Amino acid sequence: MDSSDKRLISVLRHNGRASVSDLATTLNLSRATVRSRLDRLQASGDVVGFTVVLKEDVAHDPVRALMMIGIEGRGTDRVIRQLTALPQVRALHSTNGRWDVIAELGTETLEALDDVLSCIRKFDGISQSETSLLLSTRKSGA
């Protein structure tokens, strides 16, 4: 994959529905070159498909945050069970370093986020936490 392929992929990440003509103009390449590069990237498996992001995918959780959590002692399993039971917890990740667990949170309002943060901080065994609001998503995927 050369720099033109990388530029092509970058443009497609921003607009996967761009026409070959628009891609060619944006990249200052011929339509034939763009088409052959797209075909080659798909044939090699570097590009496996194109996706659509729906309005409802973005609007489901207008307020999103990452909460980094430090857990004291051997309470990790208990805290994870409690976190898993909360509907506002979208995902849980174990990690290394300063934090033991990172929780992805999603709520309808800032007030609801504040409520769930207060609830989580009261769990027995949580020694510290730090929360970052997610302002925008530049790239999303599985």
Nearest Cα neighbor of 122 from 64, 79, 76, 73 is: 79
Taken as a whole, the chain contains a residue count of 142
Q: Summarize pLDDT for 86-109 with one digit per residue, the tens.
A: 989 999 999 988 999 999 999 989
Lowest pLDDT segment from 33-37, 76-80, 133-137: 133-137
Which string of b and e fits 110-138 if b means at least 16 CB within 10 Å? Answer: eeebeebbeebeebebbeebebeeeeeee
pTM of the model: 0.60
